[in-house]
Amino acid sequence: AVDKQTVEITLASPNADLPTILSMHHFMIVADGTTDFSKGNGTGAFVREVFEPGVRSVGIKNKNYWKSGPNVDSFEYFAISDDSSRVNALLSGDIHLAATINPRSMRLVESQGAGFVLSKTTSGNYTNLNMRLDMEPGSKRDFVEGMKYLVNREQIVKSALRGLGEVGNDQPVSPANFYHNPDLKPRAFDPEKAKFHFEKAGMLGQSIPVVASDAANSAVDMAMIIQASAAEIGLKLDVQRVPADGYWDNYWLKAPVHFGNINPRPTPDILFSLLYSSEAPWNESQYKSEKFDKMLIEARGSLDQERRKAIYNEMQVMVASEAGTIIPAYISNVDAITAKLKGLEANPLGGQMGYAFAEYVWLDA
At 49, which CATH number?
3.40.190.10
Q: Let me know if residue 15 belongs to a domain.
A: no
Cα–Cα separations (whole angstroms), residue 355 to 209, 328, 331, 359, 361: 34, 24, 17, 10, 12
Helix (H) or strand (E) holding 19, with range, is helix 18-23
Rounded to two decimals, what is the model's pTM?
Answer: 0.82
Backbone angles phi, psi at 266, to 5 degrees: -80, -15
DSSP letters for 153-203: HHHIIIIISTT-EEE--SSS--TTSTT--TTSPPPP--HHHHHHHHHHHT-
Q: Is residue 67, in this structure, part of any structural domain at all?
A: yes
Question: Residue 155: inside a domain, yes or no?
Answer: no
SS3 content of the chain, % helix, strand, coil (to 5): 35, 20, 45
Let me know how long the chain is.
365
What is the predicted pLDDT for the residue at 346? Answer: 78
Distance CA 227, CA 179 (A): 33
What's the pLDDT score for residue 3? Answer: 96
Mean pLDDT by groups of 10 residues along the chain of 365 residues: 94 94 82 85 90 90 91 94 92 94 88 89 89 98 98 96 93 94 96 98 95 95 98 97 95 98 93 97 98 98 96 98 97 91 83 87 91
Handedness of CA 262, 266, 272, 273 (dihedral sign): negative
Cα torsion 272, 273, 279, 285 to 10°: value is: -30
User: How many independent structural domains does the chain possess?
Assistant: 1
Residue 82 domain-assigned?
A: yes
Q: Is residue 237 part of a domain?
A: no
**Cα-Cα end-to-end distance for the chain:** 45
Domain assignment present for 175: no
pLDDT value of residue 100: 86
* pLDDT score at 365: 77
Cβ atoms < 10 Å from Cβ of 209: 13
What per-residue confidence (pLDDT) applies to 136?
A: 97
Residue 357 lies in domain: 29-122+339-363
Angle at 167 between CA 165 and CA 170, to 5 degrees: 120
- Res 157: pLDDT: 96
* 163 in a structural domain: no
| Residue 271 belongs to some domain of the structure | no
φ, ψ for residue 98, nearest 5 deg: -105, 110
